C-alpha cells in the first residue's frame, strides 16, 4: 500500500497504525515522489493526503485515475480539510473514500480493509468473467470446421497463456497404449503427430489407466519418476498437470501442462483446462467423422459450368443438411443465399424460394449490418467466426424478432468461395441467461446486505457461503472460511451435530427445517456468541445437497434484557421503600393528635399544681416522655417528608398542614 503524506508526524502515525494491522506499506513524502513511484509500481491501495506543496494530492489523484495501470486502484483520501467543496472535488476526481484528520486508527484500518475487500471481489468477478470468455472462445474454436490442426494449436497456445505454463500439448494414445502422438504443442506450431514412447512417460500411463487428473508440483522429487529419473534431461520440466481427454468415459489422450518452475497451476486454471479437455474430446471425435465425410465427398467430380458446380457441391451435403437440427444456408462471397435446409426455412419463417431470392443481410437487423459486413470481409482472409448472435425478424405473418447464433465455415473448399452458415434459435436461452444473471446479482446483493448472518455448507460441512453479517458476528473474513473451513468449527462442543439432528427431526419445523432455535456459535477469538438460528436443508431433485443457516446475534438483546431486569428490581425496591415510608407517615400522622393532647394536658397540670405537690413531678415526667415521643414522631415525619412545628414550649409536633402541602405560606420550588 502506498502512503503519500508530507507531514512527518502524521506519516509516522499512519505507518505505525498500518504496521500494527499487518499491512505492508511504502511511504513517500511528496506528490512528486508519489508520481515517480507510481510510474514503476502499482499498489493495492493509495492512502493520500490532499494538502501538500505542488503537485498536491489532487494532482496525484488525477494521475492515478488517468493511468490505465492504476485506474482501478482504490484511493482513500486522508486530510484535515473539511469544506464540502473539498470533499466533492476529491470524489469527482475519483476518490473511493474520505477520512478527516485527526483520524482514529481503528476506523482507518476498517475503511482500508473494506476497500481492499471490494477490490478483491471485483477482481474475482473479473477473473470469472475472463475464464468464461476463454472457455467460450476455445469451445467455439473446437466446434469449428476449419483446419483442425490449426485449431488445436490455437487451443493449446491459449491454455498455456491462461494457465501460465511453459508448454501445453495434446497427446493422443491409440488402443495399443504403447505409443502416444503429440498432435499439438503450444511452443511449436509446425509439430504434427510426433510419436513418443509411453514407457518414458509414466505420468501419461497413469492418467490413461485411471482417467483421473494428475498434478505434480515437482517432478524431480516425485516417486512416480523413480524408474525413468536417470533419463530425465537436466532442464526437464518441474511442474506437471495432466487432464484426461475423455469421450464416453474412455480416455483418448491427455491435455499436458508443464512448467519449468516447481509451481503447479491454480485450481481455477485446472478447472478451465478440464472443461477445454472435455470439449476437445468431443471435437476430436467429430473431426474424425467430418474428415471421413470430407474424404468421401472429395471423390465427386466438378461440373463444367459454375452453376452446376455449385449445385453438385451442395448436393453432396444434402442428406446431412436435411437431417441436422440446425438451420443451414450456403451463401456466395457477396452474401447471396444459394441453398437452405428445411430447418433454416422453419426458423426464419421463409420458404426455400424466398430465401434463394434473398441476401444474408436481408435476414439480419439493419443495425447489425456493419458487424455482418465485417465478418463477410473476413472470408477472403480465411476468418470464419463461430457463435455470433444476430437479431433476425421472422417472415410473415408473425414478424417475430429472434436471436440466432450464427457459425460460418468454408467447408465446401471450392474456388467459388461459397460459405456454409449454420444457425440455431437462442432467443429463449439468451433471455434466460439475462434473467438468471439479474436474479443471481439481486440475490447476492440481498444476502450481502442482510443484517443476519447467512452461512451455507455442502453435506460434508465445507462452507460455501459466508456473508458480511457472518464476518461481523464471527470475526472471520469470508476468504478465510469459504472452501477452507468446516462448518463444525463455527460451533462450540458438538453443537453442529446436534443442530443437524434437529433439522432432520420432525419437530422444530422439520424434517429438513429448524426454526427459532437458540444456541451458541464460536467466534474467531474463541468467545461464545448467543444466537437465534433458523436452518434448513437444500434439496436438489429431492436429494439434500447442502444446508443453510440464518443467525441472529442475541448479544444486544440479552444486554437489553439484563438492563430491563435490573430496572425492574430497582423499581420493586423503590416500591417497597415507598410502602414503608407511607406506613411510617401514616403512623406518625395517627400519633400526632394523641401526643398533642398528652403534651397539652401535662403542661396544664404542671401550671396549675403547686410545686410541692407530688402530682407535679408525675406530670413533668409525663410531659418529658411525651416530648421524647414527639421527637421520635418528628424524625419519622422527616424521613417520610412530614414536617413539624413548635407546640408548647420547646416541644415539636408534626405539621400536617405543611406535610400535606396545604400551608398557604409554603413556597414550592
CA 280 to CA 269: how far, in whole Å? 16
pLDDT at 298: 41
What does the pLDDT look like over 309-340, one tens digit per residue? 555 555 555 666 676 778 888 888 788 888 88
Give the confidence band of 389 by pLDDT, cuts at 50, 70, 90: very high
Instruction: Calculate mean pLDDT across residues 28-44.
Output: 89
Closest CA to 77 of 67, 85, 60: 60
Closest CA to 180 of 198, 201, 192: 198
* Whole-number percent of the chain with pLDDT over 70: 79
pLDDT at 623: 81
**Alpha helices per DSSP H over 392-546:** 427-449, 468-474, 478-481, 495-504
- Say yes or no to pLDDT of 155 above 50: yes
Give the confidence band of 290 by pLDDT, cuts at 50, 70, 90: very low
pLDDT at 292: 44
| Cβ 124 vs Cβ 262: under 8 Å | no
pLDDT at 307: 46
Give the confidence band of 515 by pLDDT, cuts at 50, 70, 90: confident
pLDDT at 317: 57
pLDDT at 267: 66
Instruction: Calculate mean pLDDT across residues 109-124.
Output: 80
Instruction: Calculate mean pLDDT across residues 99-113.
Output: 83
Q: Is 215 helix (H, G, I), strand (E, B) or coil?
A: strand
Closest CA to 346 of 329, 332, 364, 331: 329
pLDDT at 656: 46
CA 529 to CA 394: how far, in whole Å? 62
pLDDT at 340: 85
What does the pLDDT look like over 593-637, one tens digit per residue? 788 888 888 888 888 887 778 787 888 888 888 888 888 877 777
For 337-346, 580-589, 619-628, which range has the lowest pLDDT when averaged over its residues?
580-589
Instruction: Calculate mean pLDDT across residues 166-170.
Output: 86
For 569-624, the DSSP string reads: HHHHHHHHHHHHHHHHHHHHHHHHHHHHHHHHHHHHHHHHS-TTSHHHHHHHHHHH
Q: Which residues of 646-665 are buried (b: 16+ CB within 10 A; e: fewer)?
A: ebbeebbbbbbebbeeeeee
Instruction: Calculate mean pLDDT across residues 471-487.
Output: 92
- Say yes or no to pLDDT of 303 above 50: no
- Say yes or no to pLDDT of 269 above 80: no
Angle at 285 between CA 281 and CA 288, to 5 degrees: 140
> pTM for the whole thing?
0.34
Instruction: Calculate mean pLDDT across residues 408-431.
Output: 78
pLDDT at 573: 85
- Average pLDDT along the chain: 79
Closest CA to 148 of 411, 324, 378, 325: 411
Q: Which domains does the chain have, with CATH numbers?
A: 2-124 (3.40.50.2300), 143-295 (3.30.450.40), 306-431 (3.30.450.20), 450-553 (3.30.450.20), 559-660 (1.10.287)
Amino acid at each position: 500500500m502506498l502512503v503519500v503524506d508530507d507531514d512527518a508526524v502524521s506519516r509516522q502515525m499512519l505507518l505505525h497504525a498500518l504496521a500494527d494491522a499487518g499491512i505492508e506499506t511504502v511511504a513517500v513524502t511528496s506528490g512528486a515522489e508519489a508520481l515517480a513511484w507510481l510510474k514503476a509500481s502499482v499498489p493495492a491501495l493509495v492512502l493520500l493526503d490532499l494538502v501538500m506543496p505542488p503537485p498536491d494530492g489532487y494532482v496525484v489523484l488525477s494521475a492515478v485515475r488517468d493511468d490505465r495501470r492504476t485506474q482501478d486502484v482504490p484511493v482513500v483520501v486522508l486530510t484535515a480539510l473539511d469544506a464540502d467543496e473539498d470533499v466533492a472535488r476529491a470524489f469527482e476526481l475519483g476518490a473511493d473514500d474520505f477520512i478527516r484528520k485527526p483520524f482514529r486508527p481503528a476506523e482507518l484500518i476498517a475503511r482500508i480493509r473494506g476497500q481492499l475487500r471490494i477490490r478483491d471481489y471485483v477482481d474475482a468477478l473479473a477473473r470469472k468473467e475472463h475464464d468464461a470468455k476463454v472457455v467460450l472462445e476455445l469451445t467455439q474454436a473446437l466446434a469449428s470446421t476449419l483446419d483442425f490442426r490449426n485449431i488445436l494449436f490455437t487451443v493449446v497456445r491459449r491454455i498455456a497463456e491462461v494457465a501460465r505454463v511453459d508448454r501445453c500439448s495434446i497427446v493422443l494414445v491409440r488402443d495399443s497404449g504403447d505409443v502416444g502422438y503429440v498432435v499439438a504443442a503450444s511452443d511449436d506450431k509446425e509439430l504434427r503427430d510426433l510419436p513418443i514412447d509411453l514407457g518414458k512417460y509414466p505420468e501419461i500411463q497413469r492418467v490413461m489407466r485411471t482417467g483421473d487428473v494428475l498434478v505434480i508440483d515437482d517432478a524431480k522429487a516425485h516417486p512416480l519418476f523413480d524408474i525413468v529419473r536417470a533419463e530425465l534431461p537436466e532442464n526437464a520440466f518441474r511442474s506437471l498437470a495432466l487432464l484426461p481427454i475423455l469421450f464416453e468415459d474412455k480416455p483418448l489422450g491427455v491435455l499436458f501442462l508443464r512448467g519449468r518452475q516447481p509451481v503447479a497451476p491454480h485450481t481455477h486454471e485446472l478447472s478451465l483446462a478440464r472443461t477445454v479437455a472435455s470439449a476437445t474430446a468431443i471435437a476430436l471425435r467429430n473431426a474424425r467423422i467430418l474428415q471421413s465425410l470430407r474424404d468421401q465427398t472429395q471423390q465427386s467430380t466438378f461440373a463444367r459450368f459454375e452453376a452446376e458446380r455449385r449445385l453438385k457441391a451442395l448436393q453432396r451435403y444434402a442428406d446431412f443438411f436435411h437431417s441436422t437440427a440446425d438451420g443451414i444456408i450456403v451463401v456466395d462471397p457477396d452474401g447471396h443465399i444459394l441453398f437452405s435446409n428445411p430447418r433454416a426455412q422453419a426458423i426464419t419463417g421463409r420458404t426455400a424460394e424466398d430465401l434463394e431470392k434473398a441476401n444474408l443481410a436481408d435476414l439480419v437487423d439493419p443495425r447489425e449490418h456493419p458487424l455482418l459486413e465485417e465478418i463477410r470481409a473476413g472470408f477472403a482472409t480465411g476468418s470464419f467466426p463461430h457463435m455470433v448472435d444476430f437479431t433476425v425478424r421472422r417472415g410473415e405473418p408473425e414478424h417475430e424478432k429472434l436471436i440466432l447464433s450464427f457459425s460460418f465455415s468454408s467447408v465446401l473448399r471450392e474456388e467459388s468461395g461459397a460459405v456454409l452458415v449454420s444457425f440455431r434459435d437462442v432467443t429463449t436461452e439468451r433471455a434466460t441467461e439475462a434473467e438468471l444473471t439479474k436474479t443471481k446479482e439481486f440475490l447476492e446483493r440481498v444476502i450481502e446486505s442482510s443484517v443476519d448472518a447467512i452461512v451455507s455448507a455442502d453435506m460434508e460441512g465445507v462452507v460455501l457461503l459466508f456473508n458480511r453479517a457472518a464476518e461481523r458476528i464471527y470475526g472471520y473474513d469470508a476468504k478465510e472460511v469459504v472452501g477452507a473451513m468446516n462448518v463444525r468449527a463455527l460451533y462450540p462442543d458438538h453443537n453442529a451435530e446436534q443442530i443437524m439432528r434437529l433439522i432432520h427431526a420432525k419437530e422444530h419445523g422439520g424434517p429438513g427445517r429448524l426454526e427459532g432455535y437458540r444456541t451458541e456459535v464460536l467466534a474467531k477469538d474463541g468467545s461464545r456468541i448467543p444466537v437465534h438460528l433458523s436452518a434448513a436443508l437444500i434439496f436438489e431433485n429431492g436429494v439434500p445437497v447442502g444446508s443453510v443457516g440464518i443467525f441472529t446475534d442475541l448479544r444486544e438483546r440479552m444486554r437489553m434484557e439484563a438492563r430491563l431486569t435490573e430496572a425492574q428490581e430497582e423499581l420493586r425496591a423503590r416500591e417497597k421503600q415507598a410502602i414503608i415510608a407511607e406506613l411510617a407517615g401514616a403512623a406518625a400522622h395517627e400519633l400526632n393528635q394523641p401526643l398533642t393532647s398528652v403534651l397539652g394536658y401535662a403542661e396544664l397540670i404542671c401550671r396549675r399544681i403547686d410545686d410541692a405537690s407530688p402530682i407535679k413531678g408525675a406530670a413533668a415526667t409525663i410531659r418529658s416522655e411525651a416530648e421524647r415521643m414527639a421527637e421520635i414522631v418528628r424524625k419519622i415525619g422527616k424521613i417520610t417528608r412530614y414536617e413539624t412545628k413548635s407546640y408548647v414550649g420547646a416541644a415539636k409536633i408534626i405539621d400536617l398542614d405543611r406535610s400535606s402541602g396545604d400551608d398557604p405560606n409554603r413556597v414550592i420550588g
